[in-house]
Amino acid sequence: MGNEQLTQIDAFTLREEIATGRQSVADVLEASLQQIGVTEESVQAWEFLDEQHARGQAGALTAYRDSGRALGSLHGIPVGIKDIFDTADQPTRNGNALDSTRQTEKDATVVTRLRAAGALIMGKTVTAECAYLAPGKTRNPFNPEHTPGGSSSGSAAAVAAGMVPCAIGTQTGGSIIRPAAYCGVIGFKPTFGLLPRTGVLRCSPHLDTVGSFSRSLEDAALMVDAMAGFDGMDPDVAPMAPPRLLETLQEAPPVKPQFAFVKTSAWADVDQDTADGFAELAEALGDSCDEMTLPSIFDEAPVMHRRIMLSEMAHNLRPYYDRGADKLSPETRAAIEEGREISATDYLSALTWRDTLYAGLEEIFDRYDAILTPAATSAAPKGLESTGTAACNVLWSLTGVPAVTLPLLSDSQGLPVGVQLIDRRHADGRLLRTARWLENYLANLEG
């Protein structure tokens, strides 16, 4: 299998190639490095990449395999790490000029677990400043004049460009689902609290969620299965049994899934191509899909989400502001300053809306297997001065439900349009299984 082929297959397939000896870890790494050499100048997905360090990891992983010991679930798979996750062997700059020389002595918990699963930590991918709105240098692999989205821009673009099969990122508003949709890859935001955030830049603890980017649902399941587990340092991670997402994904649904095609308040901003695409999708699903509009109480979600996010950003990012506000972007400074003006009463009130709105969603999940809705209001907008809007994502981030986006549609220019699926909290495995059913159903229609 040639280098070009190696960069087009998913991690689920690659791990079998490595385990059986048909491909070596070095082969897989060199294919990734060659693809980076071809595409990085135009895409600019990486904040830090040390080829020799990556080769050193590959050598150690090869020696481990040769020793005859059992291999981890991600053995030899190159993985990109959003540059807000601490890595002991690579700098973590948080997309921030004030952290240009920052180096930690310890990995983030999820990075430790990826290494334990045998992942090759390729390097650090570009993030918007402090995982907020100010764009980094990354461009969309489909068209470099268009935004890749954010804040996990480098992770989405690196996977889309074939540089790595998988990457990790975070979502506080729409920072996994939106860039994945813009870049035409699978983005998976698990249930809030499923993955630990110890060693990750803290922006908004009631919203921050770790997730993955990949080219297949199997890879999304592999990644999250490897990272999940109790962490006493993160108060939102409950001591629960491992999710075993891959196992659930590979099962057939017990009955034909039913979808609720939900139009949130963001639907008013959805462009014509996206609206037309979803109309066709709903028609293709026939009696498996019912259209619905959420009650007006859900229109409050963006306001409540913003109050929580900016209040907590003002608190957690204060050290940056105090050290050098003039070195922060206007977007980050404005967010901190607005957050400081939000009253404690309004902040605490906003927190209560998370479970209030979730209770309303539970009624939908009692009748349907998943909510179907756009991942973004359009395909990736032209221009690099903005990462786009999270209007289609904030409700799901606020309520802590799992969400996945699939690159199933495209606009009139051929840019990818993401289809977002949502399920109830802790139904992550069922969500991925339903997503797989939808992929197969549409593929059979086309066939």
Catalytic residues: 82, 151, 175
Positions of E strands within 215-357: 259-263, 289-293
In the three-class reduction of DSSP (H, G, I as helix; E, B as strand; rest coil), residue 407 is classed as: strand
DSSP 296: G
Alpha-helical (H) ranges within 144-268 are 153-160, 177-183, 217-227, 245-249
**CB 420 within 8 Å of CB 390:** no
Rounded Cα distance between 229 and 162, Å, is 29
**CB 11 within 8 Å of CB 213:** no
Q: Which two tokens stand for residue 238?
A: 């409950």
**CB 331 within 8 Å of CB 133:** yes
Please list, residue by residue across 332-370, b when 16 or more beta carbons sit within 10 angstroms of its beta carbon and e when fewer do: bbebbeebeebeeeebeebeebbeebbeebeebbeebbb
**CB 213 within 8 Å of CB 168:** yes
Rounded Cα distance between 394 and 207, Å, is 10
Rounded Cα distance between 90 and 333, Å, is 27
From the list 426, 413, 432, 40, the residue with the least C-alpha distance to 218 is: 432
**CB 139 within 8 Å of CB 157:** yes
Element (H, E) at 240: none
Please state whether 199 falls in left (phi above 0), alpha (psi between -120 and 50) or beta. left
From the list 270, 111, 98, 82, the residue with the least C-alpha distance to 171 is: 82
**CB 218 within 8 Å of CB 210:** no
From the list 195, 189, 190, the residue with the least C-alpha distance to 236 is: 195
